[in-house]
Chain A
Amino acid sequence: MARAQRCCAPTRHSLTSLLVVSLLSVRLWRILVATDFEPRIIGFLCRWCSYPGADLAGTSRIIYPPSLRTIRVPCSGRIDPLFVLKAFQDGADGVMVLGCHPGDCHYVEGNYHARRRYALMHRLLEYAGIEGERLLVEWVSAAEGGRFAEMVGGFTDQVRELGPWGGRRIERAYSS
């Protein structure tokens, strides 16, 4: 309901949030940065459709680039657009937001909300200087292992071409 949406405290203090936020900073740096640029991609996958889809790609031995680090969330509706912002801040060059196909959400409505949020977030990011091509929002079902792998491969190439995101200051300039 409208009010619940605006009531920030319960979702923000949840364990999932804490986990996601700390995972983001840790995972991004564990990716080896070789001399050629290997993009750091963070993927938020929903537990019911897109994550099993990724699993299927794995069990079917379909190879896709290792630069993707996945974070499993219960539903694409759980993916707070702030996670995307934080991912870019903490070192991601590209972010994937994957959910169930509209109509197939395990929680019925989650991906409808996600659809609206990301349509808007995409445009805000673009406006703020984060190229729209760095955010991929897609619907992947549990049976679409091959499609998932293709998607990751294509997106990684796209981000590799764009280069590292220049808006981040990893080297903090703290003194005055």
Chain B
Amino acid sequence: MMKVTTKDSLAAWLDELTRSYTLIAPKAVGKQILYKPVEASSQIIFDFAKADLPAKEYFLPATQLILAIERGQDSIELREPSLQEERVIFALRPCDARALRVLDALFLEEEPIDPYYAQRRERSTLIGLACSEMGEECFCTSLGLAPDDASDVDLMLMEVEEGYGVEVVTEKGKAILRHLILEEVEGSPPKPILRQGKVPILETEAWPHCFEGVYWARLADRCLSCRLCTYVCPTCRCFDVRDYETANGDIERLRAWDSCLAEAYRRIAGGYNPRPTKVERLRNRFYCKFCYYPKDFGPIACVGCGRCIAKCPVNVDIVEVLDSVAVL
């Protein structure tokens, strides 16, 4: 038995949601599909494989004002902006949802808790959309995920004959289900079509053995240090924080995305840079994901979404790297 809803009922319900929530859903922007706030369900793209960018920017914005220091006549006020709205993120793929759990391990489960991230997590309800088949570059199953894994969302939708199957996962998800017309039918949702073969994921403890060696230099030969892999990745989270004076004398503290692949990223006062060339930086990217992050925080910082594979201009393929490292 499963609960289903028709496409029209779903659309009507989403329209209803826009009244009380900011609805963020896949939208066509130029030739791309991106998660954007929508005003009506008609703006949503329901039939898509994977959005070009993950929904990470709604939890870790590309640029975020974290403190404003305002000068009044005789006073100085510190203002911490706060997210005013409640959001619903619709059609999140299981990989992108798992990525949020990966980020939670750093931002929420370690002191000090990141209040900006925490607030955004709290004020968001996640509606997942299971994948009917794994994409060309996907390898989520090699990382213990599945294309219909519902453990990281509040509500899970699956494409079925009648429309969409609906699974309630958390109380938060149940709470927003109020106006959705559901019907109980026989059967269960179709299993997603998986890709053959698993990508070998080397255990955390084994990575240090592969650190030296000419493999990384040869891999980095073609790397442009363009950094786009870290920006399209749902689990990459590095940022920079700087203060800027605005034109009217106030000070804004901004937090913005940064990337470990940038030359200046690890440069420290005095000019020393422990990762001076792109060889060290590219190697670090893989080590951070599969060795350092799991060692320090628990989960592997990769969900197998394959965006880096699709977008890398010089075909640095993380699956190929994992295959190679397994036999190094």
Contacts and interface: CB of A to CB of B under 8 A. Distances in A.
Instruction: Name which of A25, A26, A174 has the most chain B CB atoms within 10 A of its CB.
Output: A174
Interface string B53-76: 000011001111100000000000
Contacts of A91: 247
Nearest to A174: B65
A49 B254 CA distance: 41
A13 interface: no
B247 A175 contact: no
B247 A90 contact: yes
A28 interface: yes
Nearest to A170: B247
Residue from the set A25, A26, A28, A175 with the largest chain B CB neighbour count within 10 Å: A175
Given A174-B254, A175-B81, A175-B83, A25 B247 contact: yes
Interface in A128-174: 172, 174
Contacts of A172: 65, 252
Contacts of A28: 247
B64 A174 contact: yes
B61 to A, nearest CB: 4
B248 interface: yes
Contacts of A29: 247-248
B237 to A, nearest CB: 14
A172 B81 CA distance: 13
Contacts of B248: 29
B50 to A, nearest CB: 19
A101 B281 CA distance: 51
A90 B244 CA distance: 13
Contacts, number: 26
A26 B57 contact: no
B116 to A, nearest CB: 9
Nearest to B62: A176
Nearest to A175: B61
A37 B58 CA distance: 37
A175 B65 contact: yes
A174 B61 contact: yes
Given A174-B254, A175-B81, A175-B83, A26 B247 contact: yes
B126 to A, nearest CB: 15
Nearest to A91: B247
A29 B248 CA distance: 6
A174 B254 CA distance: 9
Contacts of A176: 57-58, 61-62, 64
Contacts of B245: 25
A90 B58 CA distance: 27
Nearest to A27: B247
Nearest to A29: B247
A28 B254 CA distance: 22
B247 A174 contact: no
B40 to A, nearest CB: 20
Interface of B: 57-58, 61-65, 81, 83, 245-248, 252, 254
17 contacts: A25-B245, A25-B246, A25-B247, A29-B247, A29-B248, A90-B247, A91-B247, A172-B65, A172-B252, A174-B63, A174-B65, A174-B254, A175-B81, A175-B83, A176-B61, A176-B62, A176-B64
The 10 nearest A-B residue pairs measured at CB: A29-B247, A176-B61, A174-B65, A25-B247, A176-B57, A176-B58, A174-B63, A29-B248, A174-B64, A175-B61
